[in-house]
Amino acid sequence: MNYNYNPPPPSFSTLLPPLHSSLNLLSSSLSLLDSSTSDFPRLSSVLKTVRHYELIPQPTLQAAEASLRDEIGPFIELLLERVDKELERKGRRVETLKARCELNGGRLSNYNREQKSGAGGGMQKKGGGTKEARSGSGGKRLNGEAALRAKVVRQRKEALKYSVERLEMEVAQKERELRMRLEQQGGGPVL
């Protein structure tokens, strides 16, 4: 005997409602999944991590600083020495220009005094008397060539006088600079 039990086939009317409910559930799941993943490209860009800085261990940072210091330190020292030398040179130049200004101021005041005394006394010269007095009191009048030579000699004399004054001022300036250097090195004034 064969005891196979075959239940009666269900009718389609009994299978249809569960199938409809499964389809409805699947449809709602798909719509929910669609609405959830529609914003995925924007979310992926928002949630993407970007590294803005990198943390470095302290010993690595100190080693890099020491290496950089060793590499550029001598160049910085060289540049600082050059700056110091240039500042000293510019300071000496300023002092020289000040001395030259004082010299030119003294010359200008002397020139102004000579002009005033010359205008009031009639071309007074250091050699004594006016030009007219020299030529009229027994001295002979200079002809054109001799007058030109005398003028050249006077100009040379003035140029040499100017050079002597300039050299004297330069010597005084050098003495001041030397005194200042010795005071800076020794700490006390030098007489």
Alpha-carbon separation of residue 83 from 76, 89, 90, 178 (angstroms): 10, 10, 10, 21
Helix (H) or strand (E) segment spanning residue 62: helix 58-121
DSSP for 66-91, please give it: HHHHHHHHHHHHHHHHHHHHHHHHHH
What pLDDT was estimated at residue 7?
Answer: 64
pLDDT under 50: residue ranges of the chain: 121-139, 190-191
What pLDDT was estimated at residue 135?
Answer: 42
DSSP state of 56: -
Which position has the token pair 């009229």? Answer: 136
Helix (H) or strand (E) segment spanning residue 48: none
Distance between CA atoms of 46 and 173, rounded to whole angstroms?
A: 75
Alpha-carbon separation of residue 111 from 31, 130, 150, 151 (angstroms): 109, 18, 20, 18
Q: Specify the amino acid at residue 160.
A: L
What pLDDT was estimated at residue 92?
Answer: 87
Are the C-beta atoms of 103 and 166 separated by less than 8 Å?
yes
What pLDDT was estimated at residue 81?
Answer: 92
Distance between CA atoms of 169 and 100, rounded to whole angstroms?
A: 7
Token pair in block for residue 136: 């009229």
What pLDDT was estimated at residue 133?
Answer: 38
Instruction: Read off the pLDDT of residues 86-136 as tens digits, 9 standing for 90 and up.
Output: 998 898 888 888 888 887 777 777 777 777 876 554 444 444 444 433 444
Are the C-beta atoms of 148 and 142 separated by less than 8 Å?
no
